[in-house]
Amino acid sequence: MVLSFQCLQAALGKSVKLTLTCGVFQGVLQHVSPGRDLLLHAVKNLETGRSSPGVKVFYSREIVNVELLDEPDSQKRTAVLSECASAVEENKGADMGTAQGGLGSSPCVSPERQLRALNNLNMNSLPGKEEEEKVEYTVVNCFQEKFGPAVLHLKQQGVISVVGEGVTLCRNGKLSWLQMATKSHIFLFDIFLLGPQAFRNGLRTVLEDKNILKVMHDCRWLSNCLFHQYNVLLDNVFDTQVADVLQFSVATGGFFPHSTCTLQECLMQHLKIPSKWKILMKHEQQMALENPDMLFLRPFPSSLLQVLALKAMYLLLLHSSLMDNFMADLRAVVHAYLSTSQNGSEDHLGSIKPTCMELPKELRQLADIQKLRREKAVKEYRISEDGLLIRPVIELNERNPQKDETH
């Protein structure tokens, strides 16, 4: 008998035995995703006898058999997940990567290895711990109590930041977390546990609201995932990656860079983020590359929750910084307007008709400024064959973090 999603939901809270492509495990079923990924508590490896702390996720593509240990009827105890079995057969000896929408190349990473990797992010090992100020955030992983007030708060905002965390974030990927920050709150929505219902219950309304500005970094990937998996059509987005390129063009007199910047590079370029957070984000990125399944561990390590919250918070600050940069030339010209009107000669404005739309000399100075910037950029940057400026790679010096305060 094939266990349907509904049958697995009915088995929540019961002890199950899982036969995987890489071992046999036993635990208490805590959650079933629509794709039949299973979340088990009190997990024991029946081959080694070792028990795992907390909660562990098992992906449908790994599962061969599910045995309900609490079911007295022997005919109902074992069921083969045909979809998972066929997926296993199709992918034997093949790469389980992005083409199949898989969750990583190592489907059976031991809990011991995962925990050892997470320990590398211990906050005690980071520089400047004595000055550390942890960011406050709210984890929303169920629909009772926190979800409703969180959505209500988001709907009342004019500007929010949005960050997505998952594996191969696109139409075939897996979304694990969705972080949203406002000026006063940071919400971490556990999409892995909440499922598609999170968007039907309010997140979709927020993300599609034309009156709420969504600040994102390289929105293409998360937009692709949200549209094709959750029927969410993002609207009114301020993309900081696009804004960074435009700001670079203004600063260099019209040149464009040869490449875009990651979120971390933009934060290092435009904000004075503390060095310890730079290191923490870099470690988190390295771990995600080495073990993508890390994002689906539950309970999620508090040190990594801090990283998720910080990304959303800093993204909001990055938006403000970029907007200030965009407004710099405007403020300069307006200042020139005011100076001319207040300190200029009496005949200056007197010779101009109120209806005259001829371009004032103050605005014409912008062309001279752009020319100077362009000449300076040619001296400071190497130019690619395509005529693009090659800006230097922003590197994080972990040994001397105090020196790494790039604006």
Domain edges within the chain: 5-88
Structure tokens at 281: 């984000």
Q: How much is the pLDDT for 396? A: 54
> Does 123 have pLDDT greater than 60?
no
| Spatial contact of 114 and 291, defined as CB atoms under 8 Å apart | yes
What H or E segment, with its residue span, contains residue 19? strand 15-20
CB burial of residue 404 (10 Å; 0-12, 13-18, 19+): middle
Q: How much is the pLDDT for 309? A: 93
Q: How far apart are CA 97 and CA 93, in angstroms?
A: 12
- Whose CA is closest to 108, among 47, 174, 163, 157? 47
Percent share of the chain, pLDDT over 70: 74
More confident residue, 337 or 280: 337
Q: How far apart are CA 155 and CA 159, in angstroms?
A: 10
Which of 3.40.50.2300, 3.40.50.1370, 2.20.25.90, 2.30.30.100 is the CATH number of 5-88? 2.30.30.100
Strand order through the sheet with 23-32 = 51-58, 38-45, 23-32, 15-20, 63-68, 78-80
Residue 22 DSSP SS3: coil
The amino acid at residue 333 is V
Determine the distance from the C-alpha atom of residue 395 to the mean position of all C-alpha atoms in its chain, rounded to a whole number: 21
Q: How much is the pLDDT for 346? A: 57
Does pTM top 0.85 for this prediction? no
Tens of pLDDT along 12-69?
Answer: 888 889 888 888 999 888 777 766 778 787 889 898 888 876 667 787 778 888 888 8
The number of CA neighbours under 13 Å toward the Cβ of 10 is: 8
Tens of pLDDT along 272-319?
Answer: 777 767 777 777 777 766 777 778 888 888 888 988 999 999 999 999
Q: How much is the pLDDT for 75? A: 44
Q: What are the residues whose beta carbons fall under 8 Å from the beta carbon of 306, sequence distance 6 or more?
A: 123, 134, 135, 137, 280
Q: How much is the pLDDT for 22? A: 84
Tens of pLDDT along 174-199?
Answer: 999 999 999 999 999 999 999 999 99
CB burial of residue 332 (10 Å; 0-12, 13-18, 19+): middle
pLDDT, mean of residues 313-328: 93
